[in-house]
Amino acid sequence: MAVREVFDALLDLVLPQRCAGCGAGGSRWCRRCVAVLASAARVPLGRTSPDPQPPGFPVAAAAARYEGAVRGALLAHKERGRLGLVRPLAAALAAAVRTLDPPPGVLLVPVPSDPGTVRARGHDHARRLARSTARRLRRCGVAARTADVLVPARVVADQSGLDARARAANLAGALRCRRRLDGCVVVVVDDVVTSGATLAEAARALAAAGGVVHGAATVAATSRRPPVVASRLLRPAAPGPSCAGAGTAARRGGDPPVGPRGGGLPSDTSAR
């Protein structure tokens, strides 16, 4: 049993616990919600696109709809520091990435959070999720690494309450890439897609730095419209440890940098 699992079990004995997914008492993560995320990892939602679609929105895929247990788990991980949820969430995100058929050596680029928000939360949920997803993909036979190369270029207004057009205008030019990515194949990764403005801006910034944007993947998508491609079973993984399900522990360790189609990414110490 992992240290995190032991810690959660001790908390269950000492403090009243409620499931992060559904709020049911008696467990920090109930069996029913475990099954929901495991199902998303086995049979992801597939290709998604917001409606209206913002200019520059990349080909995108999600593992599940942003509702129920998935929504609860994402909020608990991001806002309440339930770090033990990163593994099942990463399994779902890895499944979404795989529906895009990424090439070997693909870079997963997380959408950055505002530095002040990261400090307030006490952790960087996007970076942790991206790294765990890359490890999961490697266990499934997909050569993937992370590159924390996107950074805020300016202050943006709170997105809450903005419609799709206002969100796109608010985020235009909001991100920049701190390293050149000439020829590197990248997939933008995030926890949820709503209007699509954030993913479109991330894709623009990466392309401006020379990156080849293969697509974007998220754990969840809001139900603004049905998926444009029906869900499908993932192809069998390459020989090695099982990649099915959301409960398998990921290998620990950092992600070394890679570059164009698996080559080097010189002087980019932020790539992992």
**243 or 82, greater pLDDT:** 82
Q: Is 152 inside a domain boundary?
A: yes
The CATH number given to whatever domain includes residue 97 is: 3.40.50
**186 or 173, greater pLDDT:** 186
Q: Is 3 inside a domain boundary?
A: no
**242 or 123, greater pLDDT:** 123
pLDDT tens track for 100-113: 999 999 999 999 98
- Measured CA to CA, the distance from residue 237 to residue 140 in angstroms comes to 5
Task: Decide if 73 contacts 28 (C-beta within 8 A).
Answer: no
Task: Decide if 136 contacts 151 (C-beta within 8 A).
Answer: no
The residue with tokens 């505002």 is 114
Q: Is 138 inside a domain boundary?
A: yes
Neighbours of 240 (CB within 10 A): 10
The pLDDT confidence band at residue 120, using thresholds 50, 70 and 90, is: confident
Return the pLDDT at 267: 32
The pLDDT confidence band at residue 88, using thresholds 50, 70 and 90, is: very high
pLDDT tens track for 37-71: 999 999 999 999 998 899 999 999 999 999 999 99
pLDDT of residue 230 exceeding 50:
no
pLDDT tens track for 126-146: 999 999 999 999 999 999 999
- Of 47-61, 118-132, 211-225, 233-247, least confident by mean pLDDT is 233-247
Q: Is 163 inside a domain boundary?
A: yes
Return the pLDDT at 248: 35
- Measured CA to CA, the distance from residue 136 to residue 89 in angstroms comes to 11
Is cis: bond before 52, omega within 30 of 0?
yes
- DSSP code of 239? S
H-only helix segments in the chain: 3-14, 31-42, 68-79, 86-98, 115-121, 125-139, 164-171, 197-208
Q: Is 270 inside a domain boundary?
A: no
pLDDT of residue 237 exceeding 50:
no
CA-based nearest residue to 70, from 95, 100, 49 = 95
- Measured CA to CA, the distance from residue 7 to residue 227 in angstroms comes to 38
- Measured CA to CA, the distance from residue 40 to residue 65 in angstroms comes to 9
As given in the structure block, the two tokens for residue 146 are: 């992370």
Domain that holds residue 75: 16-262
Query: Interior CA angle at 66 toward 60 and 67, to 5°?
Result: 160
The pLDDT confidence band at residue 261, using thresholds 50, 70 and 90, is: very low
Q: Is 8 inside a domain boundary?
A: no
Q: Is 268 inside a domain boundary?
A: no
Return the pLDDT at 91: 97
* Domains: count for the chain: 1
pLDDT tens track for 144-164: 999 999 998 877 766 677 777
Mean pLDDT score across all residues of the chain:
79
Neighbours of 37 (CB within 10 A): 26
- Measured CA to CA, the distance from residue 48 to residue 229 in angstroms comes to 7
Q: Is 6 inside a domain boundary?
A: no
Quote the pTM value. Answer: 0.77
- DSSP code of 18? B
Neighbours of 180 (CB within 10 A): 15
- Of 2-11, 128-137, 225-234, least confident by mean pLDDT is 225-234
